[in-house]
Amino acid sequence: MGARTRIAAVAALALAGSALVAGPADAGHSSLKPVVTGLDGPRGVATYGGKVIYSVTDGSVYSASADGLNKNITKLGQVPGGFPPAIDTSKWGVTYALTGGGGPEGDAPPGGATLFRLRPGKAAVPVADIAAYQATDPDPDNTDGPPGESNPFGLAALNDHTVLVSDAAGNDLLRVWPNGKIKTVARLKPRVVKVPSGLPAKDPEGNPLPPAGTPILAEAVATSVTVGSDGYYYVGELRGFPATPGTAEIWRIKPGSVNAVCDPAHPYTGACQRYSDGWTSIVDLGAGPGNKIYVVELAKASWLQFELNGATEGAVFVQYRGGHQRGGYRRELAKGLLHLPGGVGVSKSGVVYVAGPIFGPGSVSRVRY
């Protein structure tokens, strides 16, 4: 299956199961304080002017007071639903929403694989058709699915009114201008990983799975992007089949890059360099003061273990300056309290908000640590 199909399969499996809820309210020195509750599949999270902004399954995007519980909730707009869109709000207060589920040209559902600009009280404005662009710019290192496949999954609004889009099927980072122009910022190459232990002999569709230890070339699956306080672009990976734990990376890309290459075989050369390694199934990134990078793992055991065995415990980490391999260190927040988290947002002052579960009843909560 391609990256787009796999993520859709995970969604279908989750929706068929029972509702998932967060754990207890406190865990040692880290806890969750709900800000907005009663949500259907919350995912995207952003902050602006004392507000927390979030998206839900039907494509609606709302803002609420970041202080209190369920206060001053306002609908900012709506895009085609079925899966909650990725969102971000620029320094100018403009909120963007990104729909997924695209594919080669002519294969995207209506309104899918599209970047929208929201206008409160009015219809959302399409900015760019991501699937149409990807059909003309196929992945040169594609190993799974059509090379022109597209599933835009993450975005970050820049100060110059352009928007960064990470494409989970195209395995690349794009930059979109207000007039719909698109350029490829960087391409993420696949990585050789070993099949982990503990997988069944066959997948849910009855296809045989390789034995543990078998080397496989696995796609990056670029799910997430944020802009650090240093101005660099940071992109996170889910890691394609077999979703081997600890093989997802975070890449640091020089601002303004075009056609940079993020290569696991040569991770510290060029305009795109590895910032941190050893992650599992990243679905969102956020950035805070002091160049802290916040990392959301959908499932700590991997997205495939969730799909096969129902492992739902996820995580949010803070990765401190320097990355994991260059003197930096990471810390897990709200450990044991998160199940299938979908997104993280960080205010200018460093307050962290997390949304989830991404499927079923959920909430947006403040992380205290």
Are 282 and 223 in contact by the 8 Å Cβ rule? The answer is: yes
pLDDT in the model for residue 101: 86
pTM of the full predicted structure? 0.92
Cα 342 from Cα 217, distance rounded (Å): 26
Are 339 and 355 in contact by the 8 Å Cβ rule? The answer is: no
Other beta carbons within 10 Å of 21: 13
C-alpha dihedral (136, 141, 146, 150), degrees to nearest 10:
-60
pLDDT in the model for residue 26: 42
pLDDT in the model for residue 283: 98
pLDDT in the model for residue 65: 98
- Residue where the block lists tokens 């990807």: 134
Are 267 and 275 in contact by the 8 Å Cβ rule? The answer is: no
Coil, strand or helix: which one is 278? strand
pLDDT in the model for residue 252: 97
Q: Could you report the per-residue pLDDT of 192-233, keeping only the tens digit for each?
A: 999 999 888 887 778 888 999 999 999 999 999 999 999 999
So where are the chain's domains? Answer: 3-368
pLDDT in the model for residue 6: 43
pLDDT in the model for residue 119: 94
10-residue stretch averages of pLDDT, the chain, 369 residues long = 42 34 48 97 97 98 97 98 96 97 66 96 97 95 90 97 97 98 98 94 83 96 97 98 96 98 97 96 97 97 93 96 66 96 97 97 96
Indicate the class that CATH gives domain 3-368: mainly beta
DSSP per residue, 26-80: EETTEEEEEEEEEEES---EEEETTEEEEE-TTSEEEEEESSSSS-S-EEEEE--
Judged on CB neighbours under 10 Å (0-12, 13-18, 19+), 289 is exposed
pLDDT in the model for residue 12: 37
